[in-house]
Amino acid sequence: MVMSAAAYLPAPKLGEWLKELSVRHLVLAPQARGDAVVFAPYAEGGEIVLDRDATMPPKQAVFPATEELLRFRRVKDPEDPGRVDVELSASQPAPKTVVFGARPCGTRGFLAYDRVYRSPKTTDPYYAARRDATLFVTVACTAPGNSCFCHWVGSGPDDASGSDLLLTPVTGGFVVLAVSGRGDELLGSPLLEPAGDRTAEAEKVLAAVRAALPPAPDISGARDGLTAVFDDMGFWDEVSAKCVSCGACTYLCPTCYCFNITDEGDGLAGRRLRTWDNCMSFQFTLEASGHNPRPTKAHRLRNRVGHKFSYYPALHEGAVACCGCGRCVRGCPVSVDIREIVLAAIVRAARAREETAHD
| Smallest separation, CB 151 to ligand SF4 (Å) | 12
Site residues for ligand SF4 per CB under 6 A: 243-249, 252-255, 280, 308, 322-328, 332-334, 336, 338
In angstroms, the CA 327 to CA 57 distance is: 9
Angle at 262 between CA 258 and CA 264, to 5 degrees: 150
Between strands 97-102 and 134-139, the pairing is parallel
| Smallest separation, CB 155 to ligand SF4 (Å) | 10
Nearer to ligand SF4, 30 or 254 (CB): 254
Identify whether the C-beta of residue 85 lies closer than 8 Å to the C-beta of residue 121.
Answer: no
In angstroms, the CA 112 to CA 82 distance is: 48
Nearer to ligand SF4, 131 or 308 (CB): 308
| Backbone φ and ψ of 181, nearest 5° | -60, -40
In angstroms, the CA 224 to CA 136 distance is: 34
Nearer to ligand SF4, 18 or 252 (CB): 252
Nearer to ligand SF4, 165 or 336 (CB): 336
| Smallest separation, CB 331 to ligand SF4 (Å) | 6
| Smallest separation, CB 152 to ligand SF4 (Å) | 9
| Smallest separation, CB 169 to ligand SF4 (Å) | 23
Nearer to ligand SF4, 21 or 322 (CB): 322
Between strands 269-276 and 259-265, the pairing is antiparallel
Nearer to ligand SF4, 13 or 304 (CB): 304
The helix (run of H) or strand (run of E) holding residue 130 is helix 125-132
| Smallest separation, CB 104 to ligand SF4 (Å) | 12
In angstroms, the CA 202 to CA 159 distance is: 14
Q: Tell me the residue ranges of DSSP E strands in 190-334.
A: 193-194, 259-265, 269-276
